[in-house]
Amino acid sequence: MDDDDPSPAVKRLLGAHMPTAGGLANSLYAGKEIGCTAVQLFTSSPRQWQHTPLSDETIAGFKQAKSKTGIAFTCAHDSYLINLAAYDNTVLERSQRAFLGELQRAHELEIPWVVTHMGAYLDMTLEAGQQKLISSLKRLLEETSDLTAGIALETTAGQGTGLGYRFDQIAEVLEGVGPHPRLGVCLDTCHVFVAGYDIRTPEGFDQVIQEFDKTIGLHRLMVIHANDAKKSLGSRVDRHEHIGEGEIGVEAFSLLVNDPRLLSIPIILETPDADKMHAVNLAKLQRLAAAATMGMHIHVRLFGHYSESDQNDQELAVPSGLSVQKLTDILAERDPNLRDMASICRVAINEEYASLDTTLKEGDVVAFVPPMSGG
């Protein structure tokens, strides 16, 4: 077995929004380095209206990076300045022109989807904003009929006057534009959660996906953004958190990566501290995704000074028949500070003391308790 081979168990496409410092191709190389099989990127600075057309060299370099890295899915995210529902005609015109640029660049780079927030209605009514958005989308699709890149409307948090935080609003926009092969949807877990869709339990998650399917249609879902949320259910405040560390919690992400209805949809992280944390969050998603095929889930809790390890309080996908001793080896491999844990700690499985050669079972909660830390 080649260690560089992605595990055959991890079939679904998982990745992150990667920085493009030093050139667009670097987003793919950096993504490959941390194990992405899907990458999202900005094709120009997201905080500037101005953009220079892509050079032939950039385009060739990007395509080469795609084939070198084998990254199977790419998408672009549009500039933050774009508001396709803008009331002000100058802003609207500028937004549409900038979005044409987004689609053009994506086309040249062979990126199939440009993800966009649905805009804000500001001083208008929500209905009037939606109408503006619908006519913008119609115009954009018409004027780019010779291009391959499509538009993926992202479910939003509903912050301020942001459009598209309810599935039925998105459905209305899609209906207004009319069915189009280059018009799809992106579901963001943080956004739907703070917009009021409770995905934290198996029942809740299932219901939300069913509602998405009924109102929008899963066939319209092109990409998923996996972000935990800093703010609570229904708060409509958009702050992304690391996977499993926010208000949503790890279970929803386990459900997400293992839901058979969503297996073909690429998942992209947009969590904070990209440089340091994308690798960690991606590994978490990969572990959760592997769980279904690798064997089982267990939950690990560390006490005393070990609790400072990032291996603490996590759901872990492990092979069936794993012993506690082997588990400590896996944990120590990920965090060398845990190397002496097996010899020092008492082990409890589901709150009953156990020995190192005990075989773990699906759903076990395994606690490592050093002396003098109670418990």
At 116, list the tokens: 């966009």
Residue closer to Zn ion, measured from CB, 10 or 187: 187
Active site residue 299: no
Q: In 3-state terms, what secondary structure has residue 267? A: strand
Q: Binding to Zn ion (CB under 5 A): which residues in 65-94?
A: none
- Which span sits near Zn ion by CB under 5 A: 181-189, 201-209, 285-293, 307-315? 181-189
Q: Of the residues 182, 225, 278, 297, which is catalytic?
A: 225
Q: How far is the CB of 275 from Zn ion (least distance, A)?
A: 19
- Which span sits near Zn ion by CB under 5 A: 163-171, 216-224, 249-257, 270-278? 270-278
Q: In 3-state terms, what secondary structure has residue 319? A: strand
Angle between helix axes 250-258 and 202-215 (nearest 10 degrees) is 50
For Zn ion (CB under 5 A), the number of binding residues is 4
Angle between helix axes 167-177 and 126-143 (nearest 10 degrees) is 50
Radius of gyration over every alpha carbon of the chain, rounded to an integer in angstroms:
22
Active site residue 77: yes
Q: Of the residues 33, 57, 80, 273, which is catalytic?
A: 80
Instruction: Rule CB under 5 A: say whether 188 interacts with Zn ion.
Output: yes
* Cβ–Cβ < 8 Å for 87, 123: yes
Active site residue 191: yes
Residue closer to Zn ion, measured from CB, 185 or 322: 185
Active site residue 51: no
Active site residue 188: yes
Q: How far is the CB of 366 from Zn ion (least distance, A)?
A: 34
Active site residue 278: no
Instruction: Rule CB under 5 A: say whether 17 interacts with Zn ion.
Output: no
φ and ψ at residue 46, rounded to 5 degrees: -75, -5
Active site residue 219: no
Q: Binding to Zn ion (CB under 5 A): which residues in 207-266?
A: 225, 238
Q: What is the separation, in whole angstroms, between the first and last Cα of the chain?
A: 41
Residue closer to Zn ion, measured from CB, 171 or 267: 267
List all residues 6 or more positions away from 83 whose beta carbon is below 8 Å from its beta carbon. 91, 92, 95, 119, 120
What CA–CA distances, in Å, run from 71 to 25, 62, 137, 230, 266?
Answer: 11, 11, 29, 30, 11
Catalytic residues: 47, 77, 80, 117, 154, 188, 191, 225, 238, 240, 270
Q: What is the binding site for Zn ion (CB under 5 A)?
A: 188, 225, 238, 270
